[in-house]
Amino acid sequence: MKIVILDGHALNPGDLSYDVLKEFGEVTYYPRTQPELTLERIRDADYVFLNKVNLTREILSQCKNLKYIGVFATGYNVVDIEAARDLGIVVTNIPSYSTMAVAQHVFALIMEFYNAVNAHSKSVMNGDWIKSPDFCYWVQPLTELYGKTIGLIGFGSIGQRVARIASSFGMKVIVNTRSAFRIDEYNANARDDEKVRAVSLDELLSSSDIVSLHCPLTKDNNKLINAESLKKIKKGALLVNTARGALIDEEAVRKALEDKTLSGFAADVLSEEPMSKDCPLLNAPNCVVTPHVAWAAKETRVRLLDIAVENLRSFLNGKIINRVN
């Protein structure tokens, strides 16, 4: 059986091994695949693994041996799911592998604004503390998380983990989600001081000191945060996006930063990745952007690869898990 990995570098830049897939067949590895090379590389493949390479109906219909596609991610919009189903190709994803890492990254981004560790360290290393007449100083305001309100848009596994961390800081947590049952389930197992409150989107925007996005991207919430919704946001709020870049109208967010409607914007995702040279957020004021790395801790990637291997093993054993089509 022929296994092809189309863009394996992101998951494994050299610190993991794809040899674990050799028990299933011959493995051909490509660190990256340009669109024009995709069909050539998988035309005779039985199993394909990918992260961000697009598999269209046109491509899939020409892959006569293809039985299985394993997506090295939770999101699977790069695959034409309907075409795969019509052609009898099983598609699986990796759910919930990055919950801990992404929730951790959310607070790393928040702390960049609230504690300004990097700015103060740079000041010290530039010699400012040596010249200071006082035992301490600060280069920008510092803010406590205790007592602040964080509003979570979406309440899946990552949103729930963020809520738990926020509660440990003594924050108030409010949530806007279409899946109200998740709030009920969460509160049923939470202490009184950890319980979250369901609110409308308008109330969340107007009441939150920090707004953090944790919802999937759908046709209905594209550019959910836009010029109109930003008019409703609490003056001076911090906006955080570790979900999907297209949830944000980047032009509108830049304007909100420039007119100080937002005190800051922090993101790990953009509407176009890699970042384009004309991205509105490039060099925007009070803006921190990381290059889609919230999922990239080694422990997280090991977990992802382990699940990917188990997905394929289960498929071959006739007990398909994590199927998305």
pLDDT digits (tens, 9 = 90+) for 280-319: 999 999 999 999 999 999 999 999 999 999 999 999 999 9
Phi-psi region of 194 (alpha: psi -120 to 50; beta: other; left: phi over 0): alpha
Identify the pLDDT of residue 94: 98
Alpha helices in the chain (DSSP H): 38-42, 57-60, 81-86, 99-114, 117-125, 128-131, 157-168, 180-188, 201-207, 227-232, 250-258, 298-316
| pTM score, whole prediction | 0.95
pLDDT of residue 216: 92
Q: Which of 82, 144, 272, 273 is catalytic?
A: 273
Average pLDDT over residues 92-110: 97
273 is catalytic: yes
Exposed, middle or buried by CB within 10 Å (0-12, 13-18, 19+), for 78?
middle
Measured from the Cβ of residue 256, the count of other Cβ atoms closer than 10 Å reads: 22
Q: Is 105 a catalytic residue?
A: no
pLDDT digits (tens, 9 = 90+) for 28-54: 999 999 999 999 999 999 999 999 999
71 DSSP 8-state letter:
E
Among 244, 254, 301, 303, the active-site one is 244
pLDDT score of 199: 98
Active site residue 272: no
What confidence category does residue 138 fall into, taking pLDDT thresholds of 50, 70 and 90? very high
CA dist 8 → 99, 168, 273 (Å):
21, 37, 17
Residue 41: count of CB within 10 angstroms of its CB? 17
10 Å Cβ neighbour count for 51? 18
Q: Which residues of 184-217 are buried (b: 16+ CB within 10 A; e: fewer)?
A: eebeeebeeeeebebbeeeebbebbbbbbbbbeb
Residues 6+ apart with CB under 8 A from 240: 106, 109, 110, 210, 211, 212, 213, 265, 266, 267
The DSSP bridge pattern shows strands 287-289 and 210-213 to be: unpaired
The closest of 51, 115, 60, 110 to 83, measured between CA atoms, is 60
Instruction: Find where tokens 């953090």 sit.
Output: 212
Looking at residue 177, its amino acid is: T
In angstroms, the CA 287 to CA 291 distance is: 13
What average pLDDT does this structure show over 4-15? 98
Q: In the predicted model, what is the mean pLDDT of the chain?
A: 97
Closest CA to 173 of 135, 147, 191: 147
Tens of pLDDT along 87-97?
Answer: 999 999 999 99
Is 247 exposed, middle or buried, given 0-12, 13-18 or 19+ CB atoms closer than 10 A? buried
Q: What angle (nearest 5°) sits at the alpha carbon of residue 230, between those of residues 227 and 234? A: 165
The predicted pLDDT at position 31 comes to 98
Give CA–CA dist 220/223, Å, rounded. 9
| Residues contacting residue 160 through CB under 8 Å, at least 6 positions apart | 182, 186
Secondary structure class of 289 (helix, strand, coil): strand
Catalytic residue among 120, 254, 292, 301: 292
Percent of the chain predicted with pLDDT > 90: 100
* Pick from 262, 271, 265, 263: nearest CA to 292: 271
SS (H, E, C) 235-250: CCEEEEECCCHHHECH
